[in-house]
Amino acid sequence: MNAIDLVVTVCAVLSPTTCEETHLVFSSSVSLRQCAMAAPPYIAQWVGEHPKWTAVKWRCEYPRNNQKASSEPMWSAI
């Protein structure tokens, strides 16, 4: 399985102009497009665990050497 970064742009619920990107590890043997299409349940779980944030957009990409993904749990979508 190859690691794929699920990059989610999240904004603070109480300050919608305060946004940041969070990188979650999405472990899958699917394409980047399939990752993006399969991501909503995992994003919903993350938002449920972080109620002060709301997700506004996301994308999938291959990790870069100079980026560290979040230490959040690794999900597997097959």
Please check whether residue 75 lies inside any domain of the structure.
Answer: no
In a domain, 8, yes or no: yes
Q: Can you tell me the distance from the alpha carbon of 29 to that of 49, in angstroms, rounded to the nearest whole number?
A: 26
The structure's pTM equals 0.74
Please tell me the predicted confidence (pLDDT) of residue 1. Answer: 55
* Mean pLDDT (whole number) for 1-6: 79
Per-residue pLDDT of 30-41, as tens digits, reads 888 989 899 999
**Mean pLDDT over each residue of the chain, to the nearest integer:** 82
Judge whether 77 lies within some domain. Answer: no
Residue 8 lies in domain: 2-62
The DSSP string of 16-55 is: TT-EEEEEEEEEESS-HHHHHHH-HHHHHHHHHH-TTEEE
pLDDT average, residue stretch 17-31: 86
For 44-64, write each residue's pLDDT tens digit: 999 999 999 999 999 999 887
Number of domains the chain contains:
1
* Residue 52 placed within a domain: yes
Q: Are strands 75-77 and 53-61 parallel, antiparallel or unpaired?
A: unpaired
Residue 37 within a domain = yes
